[in-house]
Amino acid sequence: MAGGAGTAVHYVVLVTLVSLAGSAPGRAAFAGAAIGACVVYLLNRRYTFATSRSHAQALPRFALMAASGAVLNGVLVGLLASAGVYFLLAQVLATGLILVINFIVSKLWIFR
């Protein structure tokens, strides 16, 4: 639920920035990932992991993971788009990789 909601927000931002604002795919992917991460944090903390860890403990860890993921996402989408891959396909490929990494980090380090 949390990942799906965050991904939906991410893709809406990505498509809006690329299609309507003329932004570069890598930059738009980074912005979408950063905004989607806010949704994911709130939903993961409350529902997915139902943690009692305080925001003071969990939020800095999540912010580090989210920032790293957003940068990796922007770089991957930018590189793939520069290589001629359609920006949405590039984003789907990046999403698959980063989703797995972020779930593992969240489960084992952030919300545990």
- Tens of pLDDT, residue by residue over 27-68, are 999 999 999 999 988 898 888 777 777 888 888 988 998 899
The count of domains in the chain is 1
- From the number of C-beta atoms within 10 Å of its C-beta (0-12, 13-18, 19+), residue 60 rates as exposed
* CA atoms of 112 and 109, how far apart (whole Å): 6
Domain enclosing residue 65, as ranges: 2-110
2 or 71, which is more confident: 71
